[in-house]
């Protein structure tokens, strides 16, 4: 009849006390389990949102500070120097340019660039007056494209160019499905893109020189499109905003751009150059924003600043964080309450059993065995209570927290939608967050609930154990 | 003959405000195996304190208590209670939700002494020896009469295979017939099983059935 057997006999024979303790543990463990489930669900939702909407900073010119001075361009050296910051998860930079083609037709997309638009002659009409199609060139410093990582595009045919292509500046490109279909192109096809150096000085358009390069298509991408409602109220897909974007390595963009600059210099004319460099830095955490700015602002050229999306981030994640704070408080309060409630109930029951405890002491039982007996009795009762709580707490928390989150989101003006430079929606609206929010039971949640609940019960057992070990058997038994 | 329990210059007192109240004064006594002793005394004479000290439920402040010539503090008070003595209380002090059999198995599991044979068989035999049949052995103890509960308590004291049995007013809650039966049992234990039985009582009649009677008067132990 060791202490473990004694624990089991006590649980079986003292049914009323066992049931009271079981119900008490069940109640507090439900709150603990619920708050942990909600916390985990919120963390998962936050993680999903953060992954698809990371904290980003972009170096931009501060025109107020620049005044009448000429801006200095960002260089690869500066971008890479900032890119070494310890606060970064990732960084991308892109050489952006515009090239044309006589042979290709632009895809029907939302961002078709027409010559009129560029020349400032007609910014409203989308009717082409000549045979040239304009394409936006998006250079990349890596073959792990940001747009693929954040799910904006996916490669449907071929692959992304290789690291070797990036290092060597090979003439390899990725085009959209729409552009490929419009021009009957596929992976392996060669297309020619060019830049015409033109002169308007005489009042007539004269092409002075054409710089051309042939590019091999290595991949075709399909882009995510925003969903909108048409005039009948039906949800339809918008046209692809990246339909006329062509991806190629930064060095490849640089090579054709250098040739054009050289030709313009040789022709000794003034030519509008829309080549520009943009960089995007993704932070590990929004908490690093201030430190990153402090460390890296001084590296940027004069009159540059970092523009960040923290307000957008806070707007989306604010309600989630506030519910997470509440769930944390509920969890800590429940742990404390469980320790006190279970501890005091156990103490009351042990006081009723002080004769029994005195007998064990009088018989010379080891104090550690008496402590283990009390602990086992509570833990054995808890095991079933915690097991049930894992499911019931999860169910209760799921319903309550969904209502709370929905209410918080609707109060935080989260219905407002923000778009990026491509026309993509950048923030999550209430429906998207709610569809992403799921209070599920994964094994880590179950283990966490189990450990915290049993831990609380174990700590609560210290109160009756302390009382028991202080018992003087002589006073009780004689 | 070697003494089983030897008490030398044992005193016990406590402070009551400014006053020091002496409960036991310089007690010297020797107890041996095979004998049944009683400590007789009125209420407040110090007999229960004496028993609590020799049963190590309380540590002595002055004097020495030796079990087989070793100081019980050297043995360790818990260890001494676990392995050297069996205690029987006036109010039986059995675990109420357990059966007699489970109460005895609890004591057997606590002692470090090697129990000869199967523990459950030993427990059943002991219960049979004190007059508890197998049906009663499997009922919870609160369904037994006072006399039966005291028999279970005696069986529990014997179950750890110790030589020294200490009993604190074991007949205090029993009628005369039952008291006589219990005392006879103690006598048998001493004489037939070579145990040293020390019983505290206030009854002269009960004390007269023992081999040696000591009287405690105002903390002083005298031989009768």
Dump the DSSP string for B18-37: TEEEEEEEEEEEEE-TT-EE
Q: Are β-strands B196-201 and B19-31 bridged in parallel, bridged antiparallel, or unpaired?
A: unpaired
Q: Is the pLDDT of residue B1 over 80?
A: no
Q: Do B80 and A364 touch (CB under 8 A)?
A: yes
Cβ distance A1 to B57 less than 8 Å, yes or no, reads: no
In tens, the pLDDT along B157-174 reads 889 889 999 999 888 777
pLDDT given for residue A124 in this prediction? 42
Q: What is the per-residue pLDDT for A120?
A: 43
Chain A contacts to B (CB-CB under 8 A): 1-2, 6, 9-10, 13-14, 355-356, 358-360, 362-367, 369, 472-474, 477-478
For residue A319, the surrounding DSSP H or E stretch is helix A310-352
- Environment class of residue A125 by beta-carbon count within 10 Å: exposed (0-12), middle (13-18) or buried (19+)? exposed
Chain B residues within an 8 Å CB radius of A367: 78
**Residues in chain A closer than 8 A to B87 (CB atoms):** 362
Return the pLDDT at A426: 61
**CB contact B124 to A (< 8 Å):** no
The pLDDT score that the predictor gives to residue A400 is 82
Which long-range contacts link A327-333 to residues 24+ away (Cβ below 8 Å)? A327/A35, A327/A38, A327/A39, A327/A42, A327/A401, A328/A35, A328/A39, A330/A31, A330/A34, A330/A35, A331/A32, A331/A35, A331/A36, A331/A39, A331/A452
pLDDT for the residue A114: 44
Q: In chain A, what residues touch B95 (CB-CB under 8 Å)?
A: 356, 359
* Pick from B51, B83, B97: CB nearest A13: B97
Strand bridging mode B196-201 / B212-217: unpaired
Question: How far A370 CA lies from chain B's nearest CA (Å)?
Answer: 11
Which residue's structure tokens are 């045979």?
A: A131
* pLDDT value, residue A214: 95
Q: CA-to-CA distance for B125 and B134, rounded, in angstroms? A: 9
B76 touches chain A (CB under 8 A): no
Name which of B87, B91, B105 is nearest A1 (Cβ-Cβ): B105
By Cβ distance, the residue of B78, B81, B109 closest to A1 is: B109
* A313 phi/psi in degrees, rounded to 5: -65, -50
What average pLDDT does the structure give for chain B? 89
What pairs with residue B29 in β-bridges?
A: B7
CB atoms within 10 A of CB A221: 26
Interface test with A, best of B56, B97, B122, B137 (most A CBs within 10 A): B97
Q: CA of A9, closest CA in chain B: separation in Å?
A: 8
pLDDT of residue A429: 66
Do A359 and B95 count as a contact with CB atoms less than 8 A apart? Answer: yes
pLDDT in tens, A297-330: 999 998 899 998 887 777 777 778 888 888 899 8
B81 touches chain A (CB under 8 A): yes
pLDDT above 80: residue B143: yes
B118 touches chain A (CB under 8 A): no
Report pLDDT for A183: 92
Of A10, A472, A478, the CB nearest to B48: A478
User: Which stretches in chain A have pLDDT values below 70?
Assistant: 52, 108-131, 227-229, 411-429
| Contact list, B106 vs chain A (CB under 8 Å) | 1, 6, 360, 363
Asked whether the beta carbons of residue A355 and residue B93 sit closer than 8 angstroms, the reply is yes
Check CB contact under 8 Å for B93 and A359. yes
* H runs (alpha helix) in chain B: 47-54, 72-75, 77-83, 100-110, 119-129, 134-137, 146-159, 176-192, 204-207
Q: Assign A443 to helix, strand or coil.
A: helix
Interface contact B110-A364, CB threshold 8 A:
yes
Residue A80 backbone phi and psi in degrees, to 5: -70, -30
CB contact under 8 A, A1 and B102: yes
Measured CA to CA, the distance from residue A268 to residue A264 in angstroms comes to 6
User: With contact defined as beta carbons under 8 Å apart, do A473 and A362 qualify?
Assistant: yes
**How close does chain B come to A362, measured CA to CA in Å?**
7
Distance from CA of B91 to the nearest CA of A (A): 8
The helix-helix angle for A367-411 and A443-469 (nearest 10°) equals: 140
Sorted by sequence, the CB contacts under 8 Å of residue A160 that are 6+ apart come out as A143, A144, A145, A148, A174, A218, A219, A247
Q: Which of B83, B108, B110 to mutate to test binding with chain A, by most A CBs within 10 Å of its CB?
A: B110
Rounded to the nearest 10 degrees, the angle between the axes of helix B119-129 and helix B100-110 is: 120
Contact of B213 with B38, CB cutoff 8 Å:
yes
CA distance, residue A443 to nearest chain B CA (Å): 40
pLDDT at A126: 41
* Cβ-based contacts of A356 with chain B (< 8 Å): 95-96
**Would you call B96 and A360 a contact, using CB atoms and an 8 Å cutoff?**
no
pLDDT in tens, B28-76: 999 999 999 999 988 888 888 999 999 999 988 889 999 999 999 999 9
Q: What is the DSSP letter of A85?
A: -
Cα distances (angstroms) measured from residue A241 to each of A98, A153, A223: 16, 11, 8
Q: Structure tokens of B43?
A: 């209420």
Give the ipTM of the model, two decimals please. 0.93
pLDDT of residue A118: 45
Question: Percentage helix, strand, coil, to 5, in chain B?
Answer: 35, 30, 35
A362/B93 touch (CB, cutoff 8 Å), yes or no? yes
DSSP state of A299: G
More reliable by pLDDT, A54 or B155: B155
Written as one string, the DSSP assignment of A323-382 is HHHHHHHHHHHHHHHHHHHHHHHHHHHHHHTHHHHHHHHHTT--HHHHHHHHHHHHHHHH
Which residue in A355, A362, A369 is closest to B81 by CB distance? A362
Cβ of B97 within 8 Å of Cβ of A362? The answer is no
């Amino acid at each position: 009849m060791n202490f473990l057997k004694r624990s089991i006999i006590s649980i079986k024979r003292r049914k009323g006390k066992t049931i009271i303790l079981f119900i008490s543990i069940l109640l507090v463990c439900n709150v603990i389990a619920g708050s942990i489930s909600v916390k985990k669900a919120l963390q998962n939702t936050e993680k999903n949102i953060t992954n698809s909407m990371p904290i980003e900073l972009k170096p931009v010119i501060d025109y107020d500070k620049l005044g009448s001075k000429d801006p200095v361009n960002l260089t690869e050296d500066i971008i890479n120097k900032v890119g070494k910051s310890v606060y970064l998860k990732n960084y991308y930079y892109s050489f952006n340019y515009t090239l044309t083609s006589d042979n290709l037709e632009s895809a029907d997309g939302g961002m078709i660039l027409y010559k009129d638009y560029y020349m400032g002659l007609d910014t409203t009409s989308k009717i082409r007056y000549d045979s040239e199609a304009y394409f936006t060139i998006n250079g990349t410093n890596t073959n792990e494209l940001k747009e693929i990582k954040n799910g904006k595009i996916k490669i449907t045919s071929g692959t992304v160019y290789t690291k070797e292509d990036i290092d060597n500046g090979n003439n390899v490109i990725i085009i959209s499905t729409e552009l490929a279909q419009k021009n009957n192109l596929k992976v392996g096809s060669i297309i020619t893109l060019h830049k015409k150096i033109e002169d308007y000085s005489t009042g007539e358009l004269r092409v002075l020189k054409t710089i051309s390069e042939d590019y091999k298509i290595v991949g075709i991408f399909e882009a995510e499109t925003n969903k909108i409602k048409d005039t009948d109220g039906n949800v339809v897909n918008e046209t692809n905003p990246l339909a006329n974007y062509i991806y190629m390595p930064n060095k490849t963009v640089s090579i054709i751009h250098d040739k054009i600059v050289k030709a313009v210099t040789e022709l000794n004319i003034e030519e509008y150059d829309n080549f520009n460099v943009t960089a995007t830095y993704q932070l590990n955490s929004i908490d690093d924003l201030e430190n990153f700015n402090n460390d890296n602002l001084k590296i940027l050229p004069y009159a540059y600043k970092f523009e960040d999306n923290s307000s957008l981030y806070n707007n989306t994640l604010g309600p989630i964080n506030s519910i997470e704070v509440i769930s944390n408080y509920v969890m800590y309060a429940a742990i404390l309450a469980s320790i006190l409630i279970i501890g005091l109930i156990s103490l009351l029951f042990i006081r009723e059993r002080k004769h029994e405890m005195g007998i064990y002491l009088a018989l010379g039982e080891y104090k550690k065995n008496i402590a283990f007996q009390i602990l086992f009795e509570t833990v054995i009762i808890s095991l079933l209570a915690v097991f049930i709580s894992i499911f019931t707490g999860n169910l209760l928390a799921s319903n309550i927290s969904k209502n709370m989150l929905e209410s918080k989101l609707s109060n935080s003006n989260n219905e407002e939608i923000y778009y990026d430079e491509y026309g993509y929606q950048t923030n999550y609206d209430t429906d998207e967050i709610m569809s992403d929010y799921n209070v599920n039971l994964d094994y880590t949640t179950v283990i966490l609930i189990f450990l915290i609940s049993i831990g609380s019960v174990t700590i609560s057992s210290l109160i009756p154990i302390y009382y028991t070990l202080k018992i003087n058997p002589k006073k009780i038994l004689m | 003959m070697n003494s089983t329990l030897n008490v030398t210059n044992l005193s016990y007192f406590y402070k009551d405000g400014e006053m020091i109240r002496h409960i036991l004064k310089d007690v010297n006594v020797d107890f041996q195996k095979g004998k049944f002793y009683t400590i007789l005394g009125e209420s407040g004479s110090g007999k229960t304190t004496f028993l609590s000290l020799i049963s190590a439920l309380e540590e002595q402040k002055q004097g020495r208590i030796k079990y087989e010539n070793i100081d019980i503090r050297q043995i360790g008070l818990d260890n001494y209670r676990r392995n050297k003595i069996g205690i029987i209380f006036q109010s039986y002090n059995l675990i109420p939700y357990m059966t007699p059999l489970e109460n005895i198995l609890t004591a057997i599991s606590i002692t470090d002494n090697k129990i000869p044979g199967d523990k459950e068989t030993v427990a059943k035999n002991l219960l049979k020896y004190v007059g508890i049949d197998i049906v009663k052995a499997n009922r919870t103890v609160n369904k037994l009469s006072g006399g039966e509960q005291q028999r279970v308590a005696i069986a529990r004291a014997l179950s750890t295979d110790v030589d020294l049995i200490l009993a604190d007013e074991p007949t205090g809650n029993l009628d005369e017939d039952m008291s006589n039966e219990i005392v006879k049992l103690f006598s048998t234990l001493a004489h037939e099983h070579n145990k040293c039985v020390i019983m505290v009582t206030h009854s002269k009649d009960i004390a007269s059935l023992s081999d040696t009677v000591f009287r405690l008067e105002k903390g002083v132990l005298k031989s009768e």
